[in-house]
Amino acid sequence: MTTITYIDCGLVIDGHAADPVVCHGVSAISQMVANYVTEKGWGDVSVQDGHLEIKNVIECGNDLFKAMSSAFKDIAEEYPGNVKIVYE
């Protein structure tokens, strides 16, 4: 199971989903956003195997993050039991 936890101005993604399609989708989306945040200097990014943190994001309400959240919601709905979304 992949858990996506939204925190104040950021998110934490942990774990691996049983379905490889889910892992690949979540990884591609989150890595794209993490790379963009790093490139623009918008926040702090930490990457480890099965774990990604994007924190202290200056532009967390912008269209990039809205699109990412929408894509994660779609994946969670399409592949139930593989993605858990938590809001803190």
The pTM of this model reads 0.93
- For 30, the 3-state DSSP assignment is helix
pLDDT digits (tens, 9 = 90+) for 69-82: 999 999 999 999 99
CB 19 within 8 A of CB 8: no
- For 70, the 3-state DSSP assignment is helix
Number of domains in the chain: 1
Structural domain of residue 10, as residue ranges? 2-87
Say whether pLDDT at 42 is over 80.
yes
Residue 62, domain CATH: 3.30.70.1490
- What Cα–Cα distance (Å) separates residue 6 from each residue in 18, 19, 67, 84, 87? 21, 22, 14, 11, 5
> What pLDDT score was predicted for residue 76?
96
Say whether pLDDT at 59 is over 80.
no
